[in-house]
Homo-oligomer: A and B are copies of this chain.
Amino acid sequence: MQGKRIFVLKANKARTDHKFHLKGLPSTGGRMDIVCRCISRALLYYGNEIREDTVFYAVLLGPPNPPKTIRIDGSRVKSLGADEISIGKMIREALKRCRGNVGEEVLVGVSVTQMSFQDLVESFAKKGCHLIYLHESGEDIRKTTFFAKDIYVFVLGDHIGLNDFDERLLDGLGAVKISVSPKSLLGSHCIAIVHNELDRRFSARSSSL
């Protein structure tokens, strides 16, 4: 997992079975549109090329059977549409196929478990990953030191955000608060900015950058 970028989205209302409508991702899906946008932003370059260095987790906490944690591994997924409907279809199929808490892949590169948000972030802390909580009050990402071979786990909230318990949990695990903008941004924008900062630090540069 060395050198990976990991994003964790806490989706407080997102439905935990496949019974939502693709045309109603915000309503019937419990803001599943946010999950879809974040996946698109986290895992895709131009031309729908997949970011193989990135793994995305969404912790779904809506009805009927929370929690469900979807994991999408950019190094294994073969194709991914950038649009919300395509990604919504993939999530629906993954939720339809999952059985219990086995964590096996239900689609290539996609697995579903019943891990809670707490279990997930604690598991990253135990593995020695750097936990980063994307928050307006944090240190500017441009002033933050990143090491190419370390694993960074960026935690972000949906429209509701993280609660006090989550924040204390992250604090207790040594998470660092980092800000990407002087403005309050949608989670999917934050992901684009995080990738941009790390791409600038660690990618082969074009002549002008």
Contact = CB atoms under 8 A, between A and B. Distances in A.
Interface of A: 22-26, 33-34, 37, 40-41, 44-47, 49, 81-86, 136-140, 159, 179-186, 188-189, 192-193, 195-196, 199-200, 203-209
Contacts of A81: 26
Nearest to A138: B208
A179 B208 contact: yes
A57 to B, nearest CB: 20
A179 B140 contact: no
Contact of A33 (B33, B45, B47, B82): B82
Contacts of A192: 185, 188-189, 192-193
Which DSSP category, helix, strand, loop or mixed, fits chain A's interface?
mixed
Nearest to A180: B196
A34 to B, nearest CB: 8
A183 B138 CA distance: 26
Nearest to A205: B182
A193 B34 CA distance: 19
A81 to B, nearest CB: 7
Contact of A206 (B25, B85, B182): B182
A22 B185 CA distance: 26
A185 B46 contact: yes
B182 A25 contact: no
A45 B204 contact: no
Nearest to A190: B192
Contacts of A203: 182-183
A179 B206 contact: yes
B185 A45 contact: yes
Contacts of A193: 192-193, 196
Nearest to A34: B82
Contacts of A207: 137
